[in-house]
Structure formats: C-alpha cells, structure tokens
C-alpha cells in the first residue's frame, strides 16, 4: 500500500469518530430512521465504529511488517508555529496493536449497546460520547507530538465522566467525580513535565526527542529526573499504579457495562503506553533512577490487588463481582509496570503483550459480568452464590463455560494470552537493565510470583461460587426460610416442618428462576475476544514480532 494511502487511513481512523460524534447529534436523514430515532442513532454508532475498525485492519494489512521499528503512515504538518506544535501522526510495532484493540473493543461495545442499551438519557448523547472517547484514545496511540499527546490524553476524560455519571449504576455521581478529579490532577502534573521537556529541548516532537543525537542530548540529568517524576505521576494515575488506584474500583463498579469494558480495555493502556513512548526513550537517565521505585510500587500493587480480590471473594464479604475484577486490573497492570521498570527488551515486550492480553480478557470479563447483572439484577457474590445461587454450569452452561474461560485466561494459564505477558515481565525483572539492583528486582519478581498464586486462588473461588453455586449457603437459607413458608401455608409446626426443611434445598432449586443462556448478539460481541485470547496465547510471535524490533530501536536511541 502506498504511503499516501496509509496516511489517509491513519488520519481517517483518528478523525472519523469525531465526525461521527457530530453526526450522531443531528436528526437522522429520511430513510435511515428505522423504527424509531433511538434505533437509528445506535445503528449509526455501530456503522461508524465498524468503518473505523475496517480502516484499522486495512492499516494493519498495509503496514510494513518487515520493518516494524520504523514510524509508518506519518503525517507531519505545522499547527501552532509559535509554540513549535505540529500535527504529527505515525504508527510502529508498539502502537499498532493498541490502535487495533481500541477500534475492536469500541465496535463491540457499540454493537452490544445496539441490542442492550444501558438505562439512562437519550442514546444520541451516549453514542456521541462513545465516539469522542474512541477518537481520543486512538489519537493517544497515533500522535507523535507531546502537546497533541496531552490533548488526546485529556480528551477521553469528559466522555468517560458523563458515561459513568449519566448511564452508571449506584453511586455513579461519586464515582464519576472521583474519576475526573484524580485523573485531572494527575494530568496537570504531567503537563508540567511535558512542557519542561519541550522548553529545554526546543521541540515537542517525540520521534526527534527519542533519538540519541537529537534534542534529547540537551536534557540534563536533573531535567530528566524532574520530567520523569512529573510525567510519571500523571501516567501512574491512569495506569493505575498502587497507591494512586483508588478511583478505579468505584468507577468500574458504577460504570455501565460498555463503560467498564472501554475503561479497562483501552483507557488504562494510555498510562502504560506513555511510559514506553515518552519516559523510556526521551528521559532514560531519569527513568533509570526511578525504575526501582516504579518496580516496587508495581510489585506491591500486584499483591495488594490479589489480596483485595481474595477478601471480596470470600463468603460473607458481600463482595461485588465488578469491583473484584476492577481490583484484579490493579494487579494485572502491576505486571505491565514491572516489565517497563526492568528497562530490558524482554520486560518491555512482556509489558506490551500484557497490555493487549489484559484488554482482551478483562474486556470479556466485564461484558460477562454486565450480562450476569442483567440476568440476576445483582453482581453481589453472596447473593449470586446463595439462595438464588447462579449455578451457571447447570442453568446456563455456555454462559458459565465462557465465564470460567475468562477467569482461567485472567489467571495466566499457559496457552492463553494472559500467560506470556506476565511471564516475560517477570523474566525482565529476573535480569534487569545494567545498573539496576538485581537483588531488589529478584525480590519484586518473587512478589509478582506470589501474586500469580493469589490470582489463581481468588479467580477459582469466584468460578466455584458463581458457576457451581454454594450448596452450604443454599441449604442454610432454605432451612431458615422453610418455617416461614410453612406458616404462610397454614402448616402446624411439628414433624411436617422438619420434612419441609429437609426438602427445602430441592424446593429452592426447583423454584430458582430460569435464566437465558448466551443470546446471538452476545455471541457476536464476545466471540472475537475469546478467539483472540486463544490465538495470542498459541501464537505470541504475532504480537512479539511487531513489538520487539520497535522496542530494540526505542531502547537503542533510534539506532
């Protein structure tokens, strides 16, 4: 494919969702209104995100896979000459997979919403916000100017705020405000670091700054330290890194299903991508100084996230399944940060692989948990495993099987996508970059290994309680309910009551409401994520072959 065609495709991928968002707010043209205006605008969202996905696939097909380290499909136009800010777009083997993942997840969310629109205001605003969110996320992975990166980074905050605040569940206003305040405060600090780099080097161009003999050579050690500290705080909030993660569980718990999918699947990746694209190549000395601290926070986050999930999963904790998966993201993203902190090709490749794997697997899990809430009206684990016990294997076997598949993929079973990223991140910590303390990183690796065991523990507990139900809890609740049922029916207490109590578990099981298994539209929305999870697990070279040359080039100062 010609360079000009690639330029048009990349620009179209970034700009088309914005145009689609504006069009979504306008009345539907005659002949495209369908049965009602709501259906028309939801169909519009599916169409626009589908075209963006097709363009991203075409971009992948035209990408020169023989030279993934080179920036391709570049557009470089002067925008604000007085400040040296340019509209500079381009992709390489690091950004391309994230671009396609964003387009895929947004299309699947639009398709899912067409059939299962979350309760809330008019779908017009909902579709427009989803498209603005997509444009901002795609731009983050495509721009090569520090100021454009900041603008794209901020562009996603307002749409996500309104998606949580207007279409979310319980405590949505609190969660939305917490999300926006945390991320905005982090972004203000990050902006100061970006401005410091631009002013000291004389350019905001990320490609030039990543080159050893370019403007980067003008950045002193002190400047790099301050820049990495400032930029790192903003990126760590979005990542999310412990202890700056506390906005995440509330946001996920309150967000609508598609909001949770996009938040976990692509928005968290913006923070880790910033570390790889900006901090590592532009301020390597500063990154080298702070790498042990980043690794320490990452290792603590891995263990902390797993322990929090174990606490939520235990019986009687009244843990929310959405909240549990949100805390699991803190642990999984800890592996990404640990790989980056190793500053080795192995660790960074593992981090980039774990980014994609987490987007696929956690996106699938949030889809499933949202559907579970639609069926039961709750995601409270005690209620799901109690009297109304889900027992999905028996009642909705395909749904239960897919939920178990997602959990097993999330715990890093070999042969599935979750395994490779975590393993490579720990390999990177096993032998970190020269100058980093190996004993310290071996300790961090050991903590990460403990985290994998804890992850397996809580996910298997969740599968047992939700997919198999909890026989003990069901029997206790049935015994407690049996006398009330007998009194209501006019049964005299005595031997008959004991008989009723003895047979209560069977009665409860018979009275348990039927739930639908996977619907056709759910198959369409979920199957690509499950299939790609298996494909990435069995053929990791497809992703590593793209990222490794680009990572080697990035760590080599552009040589």
Lowest mean pLDDT among 166-180, 372-386, 418-432, 443-457: 372-386
Lowest mean pLDDT among 182-196, 307-321, 339-353: 307-321
Lowest mean pLDDT among 178-187, 343-352, 400-409, 549-558: 549-558
**SS3 call for 41:** helix
Report how far residue 271's alpha carbon sits from residue 348's, in angstroms, rounded to the nearest whole number: 14
Beta bridge partners of 77: 87
Each residue's pLDDT tens digit, 392-424:
787 788 988 999 999 999 988 898 998 999 999
> Quick one: average pLDDT of 430-449?
91
Each residue's pLDDT tens digit, 76-97:
888 888 888 889 999 999 999 9
**Helix %, strand %, coil % for the chain, to 5?**
75, 5, 20
> Quick one: average pLDDT of 319-342?
90
Tell me what the pLDDT averaged over the chain comes to: 84
pLDDT value at 352 more than 90: yes
Buried/exposed code over 137-175 (b: 16+ C-beta within 10 A; e: otherwise): bbbbbbbbbbbbbbebbbbbbebbbbbbbbbbbeebeeb
Indicate the pTM of the whole model. 0.88
**SS3 call for 301:** helix
Most confident stretch, 285-294, 312-321, 373-382? 285-294
The radius of gyration of the chain from alpha carbons, rounded to an integer in Å, stands at: 25
Each residue's pLDDT tens digit, 121-150:
888 899 999 999 999 999 999 999 999 999
> Quick one: average pLDDT of 438-467?
91
Residue 292: pLDDT band with limits 50, 70, 90: very high
> Quick one: average pLDDT of 149-178?
89
- Residue 419, Cβ density class (10 Å: 0-12 exposed, 13-18 middle, ≥19 buried): buried
> Quick one: average pLDDT of 58-78?
89
**Widest pairwise Cα distance in the chain:** 92
pLDDT value at 510 more than 60: no
pLDDT of residue 79: 86
CA 332, 334, 340, 346 torsion: positive or negative?
Answer: negative
- Residues above pLDDT 70, as percent of the chain: 89
Residue 24: pLDDT band with limits 50, 70, 90: confident
pLDDT value at 470 more than 70: no
Residue 32: pLDDT band with limits 50, 70, 90: low
pLDDT value at 238 more than 60: yes
């Amino acid at each position: 494919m010609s360079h000009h065609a690639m330029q048009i495709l990349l620009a179209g991928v970034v700009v088309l969702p914005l145009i689609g968002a504006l069009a979504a707010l306008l009345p539907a043209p005659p002949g495209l209104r369908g049965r009602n205006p709501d259906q028309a605008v939801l169909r519009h969202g599916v169409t626009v995100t589908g075209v963006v996905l097709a363009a991203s696939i075409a971009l992948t097909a035209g990408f020169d896979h023989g030279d993934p380290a080179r920036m391709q499909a570049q557009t470089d136009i002067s925008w604000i000459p007085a400040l040296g800010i340019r509209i500079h777009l381009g992709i390489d083997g690091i950004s391309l997979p994230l671009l396609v993942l964003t387009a895929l997840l947004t299309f699947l969310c639009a398709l899912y919403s067409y059939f299962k629109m979350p309760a809330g205001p008019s779908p017009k605003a909902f579709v427009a916000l989803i498209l603005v969110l997509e444009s901002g996320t795609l731009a983050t992975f495509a721009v090569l100017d520090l100021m454009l990166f900041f603008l794209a980074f901020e562009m996603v905050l307002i749409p996500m705020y309104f998606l949580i605040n207007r279409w979310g569940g319980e405590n949505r206003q609190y969660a939305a405000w917490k999300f926006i305040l945390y991320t905005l405060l982090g972004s203000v600090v990050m902006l100061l670091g970006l401005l410091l780099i631009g002013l000291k080097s004389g350019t905001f161009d990320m490609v030039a700054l990543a080159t050893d003999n370019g403007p980067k050579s003008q950045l002193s050690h002190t400047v790099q330290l301050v820049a990495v500290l400032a930029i790192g705080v903003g990126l760590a909030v979005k990542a999310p890194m412990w202890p700056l993660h506390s906005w995440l569980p509330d946001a996920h718990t309150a967000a609508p299903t598609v909001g949770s999918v996009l938040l976990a699947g692509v928005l968290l990746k913006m923070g880790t991508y910033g570390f790889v694209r900006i901090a590592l190549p532009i301020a390597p000395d500063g990154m080298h100084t702070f790498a042990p601290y980043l690794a320490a926070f990452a290792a603590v986050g891995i263990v902390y996230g797993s322990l929090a999930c174990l606490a939520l999963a235990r019986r009687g904790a009244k843990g929310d399944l959405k909240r549990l998966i949100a805390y699991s993201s803190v642990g999984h993203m800890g592996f990404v940060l640990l790989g980056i902190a190793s500053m080795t090709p192995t660790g960074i490749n593992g981090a980039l692989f774990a980014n994609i794997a987490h987007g696929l697997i956690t996106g699938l899990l949030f889809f499933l948990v949202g559907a579970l809430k639609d069926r039961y009206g709750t995601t409270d684990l005690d209620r799901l495993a109690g009297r109304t016990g889900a027992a999905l294997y028996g009642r909705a076997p395909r749904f239960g099987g897919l939920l178990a598949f997602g959990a097993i993929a999330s715990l890093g079973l070999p042969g599935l996508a979750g395994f490779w990223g975590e393993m490579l991140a720990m390999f990177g910590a096993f032998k970190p970059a020269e100058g980093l303390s190996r004993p310290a990183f071996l300790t961090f690796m050991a903590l990460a290994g403990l985290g994998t065991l804890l992850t397996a523990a809580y996910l298997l507990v969740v599968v047992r309680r939700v997919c198999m139900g909890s026989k003990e809890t069901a029997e206790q609740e049935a015994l407690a309910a049996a006398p009330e049922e007998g009194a209501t029916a006019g049964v005299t207490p005595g031997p008959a009551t004991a008989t009723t109590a003895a047979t209560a578990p069977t009665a409860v099981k018979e009275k348990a409401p039927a739930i639908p298994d996977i619907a056709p539209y759910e198959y369409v929305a979920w199957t690509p994520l499950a299939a790609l999870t298996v494909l990435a697990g069995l053929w990791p070279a497809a992703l590593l072959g793209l990222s490794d040359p680009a990572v080697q080039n990035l760590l080599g100062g552009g040589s």
